[in-house]
Amino acid sequence: MDHLRKLRLVAIDVDGVLIDDTYLAVLERFVARHGGVYDEDAERRIVGLQDLVVSVLIGDLCGLDQPATETRAAIFAEREEYLREHPIQVTDGAAEFLLSLRELGVRAVAYGGRTREHTFDRYLKPLVDFLDPEVPYVSINDHRPGVDWIVREVIGCEFDEAVFIDDVSRVGMAARDLGAGFIGFPSSDAHRRQRRFMADAGVRHIAGSLGEITPELLARIDGELTTSTHWS
């Protein structure tokens, strides 16, 4: 394969890409259990924002008369119950996928809304050597959706030198607005709305497994970024 002309950074979401999603399913279940209606409009408004903002919106949606911090704690408790029923698994092919990025010579950085210790070290520590040695993981909750933060403040490259892989359309829209690359990863039934949102936002590349994100696909995206045709 020819050398990549533009691409320097591949940023990969943890929750929903490298491990099972524990976000969309939990939010939908919490809202349903607390008397709210979780529909397409609710998901568009809620998903992909800072935790406390999400808690405010869900509190309004469910008519909860309590501080947002209490709603946030209740959502986290719901997540713990969900995890007892659905233990987290590393996504099939994660090691092979990360190894392929290393062989391409790009910087591979994982990111997510939790601290490194909360999720990354717990489930993905055996894969850390496949990621960027300087910045293997970035916590983005205070900087959601995180595209600008990771590219400008953490890595220091241009937007059109980066590709984000995420299961949430809000990240795709941020990538589009800033001129970064994006691969959608709506890989479960809980992502059924996100797949539609991504298509509506003009996302060209949507994968159902890590095995579909091949060096050939990344080379194609590299060409699109080089010619400014990734979003056109």
SS3 readout for 45-108: HHCCCCHHHHHHHHHHHHCCCCCHHHHHHHHHHHHHHHHHHCCCCECCCHHHHHHHHHHHCCEE
Mean pLDDT throughout 46-65? 95
Cβ-based neighbours of 130, under 8 Å, separated by 6 or more: 95, 98, 99, 101, 102, 108
Percent of the chain with pLDDT over 70: 99
pTM here is 0.95
Cβ neighbours of 125 (radius 10 Å): 11
Cβ-based neighbours of 22, under 8 Å, separated by 6 or more: 15, 79, 82, 83, 86, 88
In tens, the pLDDT along 118-175 reads 889 999 999 999 999 999 999 998 999 999 999 999 999 999 999 999 999 999 999 9
114 burial level (CB within 10 Å; 0-12, 13-18, 19+): middle
Q: Which residues pair with 206 in a beta bridge?
A: 184
45 burial level (CB within 10 Å; 0-12, 13-18, 19+): middle
d(CA 29, CA 185): 21
- The per-residue pLDDT of the chain, averaged, comes to 95
Grade residue 187 by pLDDT with cuts at 50, 70 and 90. Answer: confident
Beta strands in the chain (DSSP E): 9-13, 107-112, 137-139, 162-166, 181-184
Q: Which two tokens stand for residue 145?
A: 């959706």
Question: What residue ranges define each of the domains in the chain, with the CATH number in brackets?
Answer: 9-21+89-226 (3.40.50.1000), 24-85 (1.10.150)
Percent of the chain with pLDDT over 90: 91
The pLDDT assigned to 140 comes to 95
Residue with tokens 């909750």: 141
Torsion angle in degrees (nearest 10) through CA of 166, 168, 173, 174: -60
Grade residue 2 by pLDDT with cuts at 50, 70 and 90. Answer: low
1 pLDDT higher than 60: no
In tens, the pLDDT along 72-123 reads 999 999 999 999 999 999 999 999 999 999 999 999 999 999 889 888 999 9
